[in-house]
Structure 1
Amino acid sequence: MSEAVAVVPGKAPSLGTFERYLTLWVALCIVVGIGLGQAMPGPFEAIGAATVAEVNLPVAVLVWLMVIPMLLKIDLGALGQVGRHWRGIATTVGINWLVKPFSMALLGWIFIAQLFRPWLPEAQIDGYLAGLILLAAAPCTAMVFVWSNLVEGEPHFTLSQVALNDTIMVFAFAPIVGLLLGLSSIAVPWGTLVLSVVLYIVVPVIVAQLWRRALLAGGGEPALAAMLGRLAPLSLGALLLTLVLLFGLQGAQILRQPAVIALLAVPILIQVYGNAALAYWLNRRLGVAWCVAGPSALIGASNFFELAVATAIALFGFQSGAALATVVGVLVEVPVMLSVVWIVRRSRGWYEQGAGISPG
């Protein structure tokens, strides 16, 4: 998720005014998108049809505007610090890659495919499941620096954990998504999935790292921070424009069944709180310091929804249930993660009463 701060170890980022009210802006995008989609469906349909090799070109441009500034914050050189906090790293990696995608697939099956099925459009059930899987298959990349700061997290741990997650994501995202979609009996368009990984992960990582090195070589951290400040409004604007396009094409379906968004939020909320609690508890059992356990729980709970939205559109289209399900993740992200921050801070006394707390 994007925000308007540079990631510099030891320098505390903050949640900007615009980012603090992201849920409000997303809600406004829903209203504007649905309204425009009903008033002028032609332009939205033309944008939805602008594809080459199963990739929607307008969305590809918007995703690059969203993702590259976010990846520009990440120093892959921080991978050398992974061993300093190995217990917290091991816990977070396990939650992100061995628990979260599979628990979301299970929750989606229980709630969307079974309990809520009578209240959902039958033709979209598989799409909703696919969207939930995509949402959980990659951990958040940038906004976690803000969450980490809000819980007084150890900045070097957060930086090294995010750098490791980005590296794993390049190789693990497509196989995990393909496996879980297959288990859910959803046809996997492997060519489009691999192309999405290349377009939305591999290429942006390479571009961002080359650009980061050039900025640091030319002007150091001030130059990087200045560039991130200039790019942040563009990045967030691209996200909001993508949502307007998405809801412009989804509007008719949402107006027919407005409760769909609330029902899709249920497994997402359970997954976020469940994975945060599991990561926090495991860190306590392993004797990890609270300043590491806090960001570990938050990284374990949050999702890289920009990637999820882009991949859902590429794989299944603007009007798919998959695209709608990923956007629900955008809608709930900020308030839910702020509530997890509050819980972690309030529980510090309980956490530190645990036996065997180590320095890292």
Structure 2
Amino acid sequence: MTTFERYLTLWVALCIIAGVALGHFLPGLFHAIGAAEIARVNLPVAVLIWLMIIPMLLKIDFAALGQVGRHWRGIGVTLIVNWAVKPFSMALLAWLFIGWLFRPYLPADQIDSYVAGLILLAAAPCTAMVFVWSNLIRGEPHFTLSQVALNDVIMVVAFAPIVALLLGLSAITVPWDTLVLSVVLYIVVPVIVAQVLRRRLLARGGQAALDGLLKRLGPVSLVALLATLVLLFGFQGGEIIAQPVVILLLAVPILIQVYFNAGLAYLLNRASGEAHCVAGPSALIGASNFFELAVAAAISLFGFKSGAALATVVGVLIEVPVMLSVVWIVNRSKGWYERGQAVRPSAGQERPAP
């Protein structure tokens, strides 16, 4: 681990402060950057995400994707947590905290809208950023890609019915342009670019050339992650300063939701005997959110200035710092995880001593 990586928590904190300050003092600049979007997908953020995830996708050998089936336990856990637990647990937490405990401290006319925004956030599993989190815990890249692709397919048919059920609506209009464009920009394009680049590198210089490029791109990914953090907080700098209490209260159920789902997926994988390199990505996929879709759906259903839109934006703001904390927990608990009686040691390794 480099000195830069060792102090990542410090850089994250400084970027959050810088983003809020810049967004407050230079709102025009961030409004201009925020306006550079198509179907509510911000293009500067998309470019930064490319810089983050293409190095991770370079590690993927498509010929090895067929081996992902051996991790069927991790696949099952991820699907259960994402689609059978996550949206419903968030609905319960939103009702408990926003609809009851925090009700006296929030605008009365926005309570239902806040709850709706939190449900929209939980019903959309993360797509692109999962590759970043998986890389930070040395997760199995083929498993991560397969799970992201599978979630995207399920999301096409399950997002609208789940949200309609939990919000009590007869139907919901899915922002298909945002969903399709996000998948294309965050998955299809980076995968194609990474695979073309990977094949050329291997053809010209072999594995050594690929390893050399990955080493050089490592710092680029982290810098892009920090730059994304500055942008996300800069976009909402005014709101954070104007409504700090509301944002803090909305963050509470989201935080509980993240740690609950990550912990549940992690423990279920351990109980089922999955390897740590699969359990980590499974936990992270179960905890993070597809915030572009959630924000777009909230704006379409309730309006740009609604409580639902603000609630989904809070999810955007805490995504990076909170997921980094989950990454830290997963990394620090690896020894404990692999001492589980059901966990089979990786090839060439012996089970750690109790």
Give the Cα separation in 2 of the matches to 1:250 and 1:212: 37
Check the 8 A contact 2:124/2:293 in 1, yes or no: yes
Distance 1:233 1:118, change over 3 A: farther
Aligned residue for 2:146?
Answer: 164
Shift of 1:53: 4.5
Give the Cα separation in 2 of the matches to 1:306 and 1:91: 15
Aligned residue for 2:203?
Answer: 217
Aligned residue for 1:4?
Answer: none
Aligned to 1:73, the other structure's residue is in SS state coil
Letter in 2 for 1:295: C
Aligned CA RMSD, in angstroms, stands at: 3.7
Say whether residues 1:226 and 2:205 are aligned partners: no
- Deviates further, 223-232 or 260-269: 260-269
Aligned residue for 2:327?
Answer: 337
Give the percent of matched residue pairs that are identical in Structure 1 and Structure 2.
Answer: 50
In the TM superposition, 1:85-164 aligns within 5 A as: 85-96=71-82, 98-100=84-86, 102-104=88-90, 106-112=92-98, 114-120=100-106, 122=110, 125=114, 126-134=116-124, 140-148=130-138, 158-164=140-146
2:224 to 225, 238, 260: 238
Give the Cα separation in 1 of the matches to 2:298 and 2:190: 22
Shift of 1:137: 7.0
1:308 to 290, 302, 306: 290
Give the Cα separation in 1 of the matches to 2:106 and 2:335: 38
Give the Cα separation in 2 of the matches to 1:17 and 1:314: 38
Distance 1:22 1:84, change over 3 A: same
Say whether residues 1:202 and 2:188 are aligned partners: yes
Q: So what's the TM-score if we normalise by structure 1? A: 0.74
Deviations 1:157-184 (A, max 9, x none): x344223213314423444444444445
Q: So what's the TM-score if we normalise by structure 2? A: 0.75
Shift of 1:266: 3.3
Say whether residues 1:33 and 2:19 are aligned partners: yes
Check the 8 A contact 2:130/2:281 in 1, yes or no: yes
How many correspondences in the alignment?
Answer: 330
Aligned residue for 1:299?
Answer: 281
Aligned residue for 2:350?
Answer: none
Give the Cα separation in 2 of the matches to 1:81 and 1:343: 26
- Deviates further, 192-201 or 316-325: 316-325
Give the Cα separation in 1 of the matches to 2:281 and 2:128: 10
2:64 to 54, 78, 83: 78
Give the Cα separation in 2 of the matches to 1:224 and 1:307: 31
Aligned residue for 1:59?
Answer: 45
1:267 to 249, 253, 257: 253
Shift of 1:114: 4.8
Deviations 1:239-273 (A, max 9, x none): 32233223223112211333455444433443344
Distance 1:16 1:161, change over 3 A: farther
Shift of 1:328: 0.3
Check the 8 A contact 1:74/1:159 in 2, yes or no: yes
Give the Cα separation in 1 of the matches to 2:74 and 2:248: 33
- Deviates further, 134-143 or 70-79: 134-143
Shift of 1:197: 1.8
Give the Cα separation in 2 of the matches to 1:242 and 1:20: 19
Aligned residue for 2:316?
Answer: 326
Aligned to 1:188, the other structure's residue is in SS state coil
Shift of 1:325: 1.2
Shift of 1:302: 1.0
Structure 2: tracts of 5 or more residues without a match: 347-354
Aligned to 2:131, the other structure's residue is in SS state coil
Deviations 1:88-108 (A, max 9, x none): 443344434544455445544
Check the 8 A contact 2:175/2:296 in 1, yes or no: no
Distance 1:119 1:253, change over 3 A: farther
